[in-house]
Amino acid sequence: MQFDSIIYLFFLPLCVLIFYLLRSQKSRVVLLLIASYIFYGFWNPYYLILILGSTLVDYFVAQRIYDTSRKADKNRYLAKSLLFNLGLLFVFKYYNFFVSNLPSWFSSGAETSLMHSFILPVGISFYTFQTISYSIDVYRSDIKPARNFLDFALFVSFFPQLVAGPIERAGNVLPQLQKYIFLDSRQISFGLKLILLGFIKKILFANNFAEYVDIVYAAPSSFTGWEVVFATFLFAGQIYFDFSAYTDIARGSAKLFGIDLMENFRGPYFSSSIKEFWRRWHISLSTWFRDYLYIPLGGNRVGAKRVYFNLVVVFLVTGLWHGANWTFVIWGMIHGVFLILERLGLGAILNKLPKILTVGYVMGVTLLSWVFFRAASVGEALEIYTAMLNLDPSTIFELSVYKGDQQMVDYLVLLVLVILGIIMHFIEYKTPLVPGLNKLSSNKRFIVILLSCIVLVLFGKYFDNSQFIYFQF
């Protein structure tokens, strides 16, 4: 089920209505659990088995970890959780990639025969990481395990953040799911505003940018270098507005049930370094890798060479987490290399430069790396880079992407959206948008919301199959 689908606009209010009509906490948990399985089952009901399997394994593993006092037993139970969840990821997401990259002494025919045709389950990277963090937190004695299976099952499958996060921690969400929530008009209002903000980001910004990007990236050599560069810039906007839109709708939807999910973005493109970028981009994932991979590897507490090694490992895994393709590996490694360079002295130089230059540096690194993220193969990425070099001054005003009598209107709308998007992003860098909106007087707030709805209806792009980008992960 898609957040920006008609069916979700009926599904969510119905769930909220029934939720507040129910008087017992247990019945509310059951309602949300059933709703979550229905929500996920719309993609492929058979893959509910995987969620249930991960839920059962980590529920019982966590109980065993907590109840035993022997370190060896704790290690063994934790290993079972890691093997099961990472095994799911490997089989469904990485197995074919591994087989296709077997040593050359395997014939191509043998490689093909070993590959499977399973469809990648939607959101598997998100809910497996969420359950892994739960088992590790219990192992570390950071939290106590959930004794009620239904509470834990809801934590794993809570539908607002099931498919594309945020990747939540049990210490934050489980206590909220176990608490009886009273109807609060302020929370409902806040949640609805977040959902509206998400729709604006997705339908108005991300979808409009996607239309241009898809045309240019489908045949980059057919367009001028300026158009390819502009398409790359628009893709940076598309992926940000697309993913942060999902997060806003997820957080807004959860807020309607009285659940607070973590913030996932804080205006990352106005960062002054790649280090700061990763403190503001996909925060739930970057903090997950920090807490469960980087710090266990030694973090910053080891020698310089080991720190660099740790960064390489983290961003190698970060790239692979996003997809089983060498393009994602390269994308991750680009960020890892620049983080190392910033530690080697580039960071000290950036601290002395004006903000506009450091923001330009971050945009330059992220734009070039996004090419690998967007391309289907390394060869396609190199084709895009080659096309970007064709910066003939005589073609700077050549407009060939949009066709027909509406061409100038389409470009004008796109240009206005780019300007509005930059302004919105800058505001988000300074302060969250919804709390900022709530500081306005009721009349001003009403005008802003009304104008936003009108612009969304008039200029939004409504596609039949406009999946959120991060659904593929």
**Is the model's pLDDT at 470 over the cut of 80?**
no
Distance CA 95, CA 461 (A): 36
Under 8 Å between Cβ of 283 and 265: yes
Distance CA 360, CA 342 (A): 15
Residues 223-239 have pLDDT tens digits of: 899 999 999 999 999 99
Looking at residue 398, its pLDDT comes to 79
**Is the model's pLDDT at 257 over the cut of 70?**
yes
Query: Which tokens belong to 403?
Result: 């066709």
- Confidence grade of residue 105 (pLDDT, cut at 50, 70, 90): very low
Under 8 Å between Cβ of 158 and 32: yes
Residues 272-302 have pLDDT tens digits of: 999 999 999 999 999 999 999 999 999 888 9
Q: To the nearest 10°, the Cα dihedral for 425, 430, 436, 439? A: -150
What Å distances lie between residue 354 and 182, 367, 426, CA to CA? 49, 20, 17
What Å distances lie between residue 463 and 175, 200, 204, 208, 468, CA to CA? 38, 14, 11, 10, 11
**Is 425 among the catalytic positions?**
no
Residues 126-170 have pLDDT tens digits of: 999 999 999 999 999 999 999 999 999 999 999 999 888 799 999
Q: Which is the catalytic residue, given 116, 282, 322, 425?
A: 322
**Is the model's pLDDT at 309 over the cut of 90?**
yes
What Å distances lie between residue 29 and 36, 62, 152, 191, CA to CA? 10, 20, 10, 20
Full-model pTM = 0.91
Sequence-ordered list of residues with C-beta below 8 angstroms from that of 278, at least 6 positions apart, any chain: 286, 335, 339
Sequence-ordered list of residues with C-beta below 8 angstroms from that of 237, at least 6 positions apart, any chain: 205, 206, 209, 418, 421
- What ranges in 90-148 are assigned the alpha helix state H? 95-100, 108-114, 124-139
